[in-house]
Amino acid sequence: MKERRRSVESRGPLPTARSILGNADVVLICKACDRSVDADLPVIIAGGHGDLPLIELKWRCAMCQSTKVTMVVSGARIGRKDA
């Protein structure tokens, strides 16, 4: 609670589709058409990108094909040990 800085780099392994599946939801928000969709993690894994950090994946809106997509991880329990 003392530290408010969010340093993604120094927080251990970055979440990947495989590590996050079943632990959290990944919501994609398209800035172009203002839609939000759940990312299809099994599809990403099946496509061979399951071990890439999520922030390195190139997301694309399924509706308008825009790449101006923001990724939000919700309900994450990754990296938290406060039980």
- Binding residues for Zn ion, rule: CB under 5 A, are 30, 32-33, 61, 63-64, 66
Shortest distance, CB of residue 38 to Zn ion, whole angstroms? 14
Residue number, 8 or 63, with CB nearest to Zn ion: 63
Residue number, 41 or 69, with CB nearest to Zn ion: 69
Residue number, 8 or 71, with CB nearest to Zn ion: 71
Shortest distance, CB of residue 71 to Zn ion, whole angstroms? 13
- Kindly state the greatest CA–CA separation across the chain: 42
Residue with tokens 């919501």: 27
Shortest distance, CB of residue 72 to Zn ion, whole angstroms? 15
SS3 62: coil
DSSP string across 18-60:
HHHTTT-EEEEEETTT--EEE--HHHHIIIIITTSBGGGS---
